[in-house]
Structure 1
């Protein structure tokens, strides 16, 4: 039996890292600004200290 190995080229690895980085940026932005701009009092209370530590005004 012979084992087949598959390796990604340098451009394939860079492309995969770029996509992963962009997805992390999108998800992080949604979390920070979604909670930061929420009108719900519960979300506001839950994220209040985090907002101030990031310098995000909420008042």
Structure 2
């Protein structure tokens, strides 16, 4: 048995275009969630988003 320590490096095998596509997709999902919460007629959803913005010290009005 060897006492050598193996080191693992995290190398991304994704191309730049794949990473860009993932970033754009994540951004679009994020925008959809913000739009849904901000303009929702469901009062509980809107109030939860509103309270979260206040707890993060983010001005919302």
**With structure 1 as the length reference, what TM-score do the two structures score?**
0.61
Higher-Rg member (1/2): 2
Tell me, which stretches of 5 or more residues in structure 1 are unaligned?
A: 1-7
Distance 2:23 2:40 in 1: 25
**Which residue pairs with 2:15 in the alignment?**
13
- Would you say 1:33 and 2:35 are equivalent positions? yes
How many residue pairs match? The answer is 47
Q: 1:55 aligns with which of 16, 37, 59?
A: 59
User: Displaced runs of 4+ in structure 1, greater than 2 A?
Assistant: 50-57
Secondary structure of the residue aligned to 1:44 is helix
1:46 is aligned, of 45, 48, 52, to: 48
Q: Which runs of 5+ in 2 are unaligned?
A: 1-12
The Cα RMSD (Å) is 2.0
Which structure has the higher relative contact order (CA within 8 Å, separation 6+)?
A: 1
Q: Which has the higher helix share?
A: 1
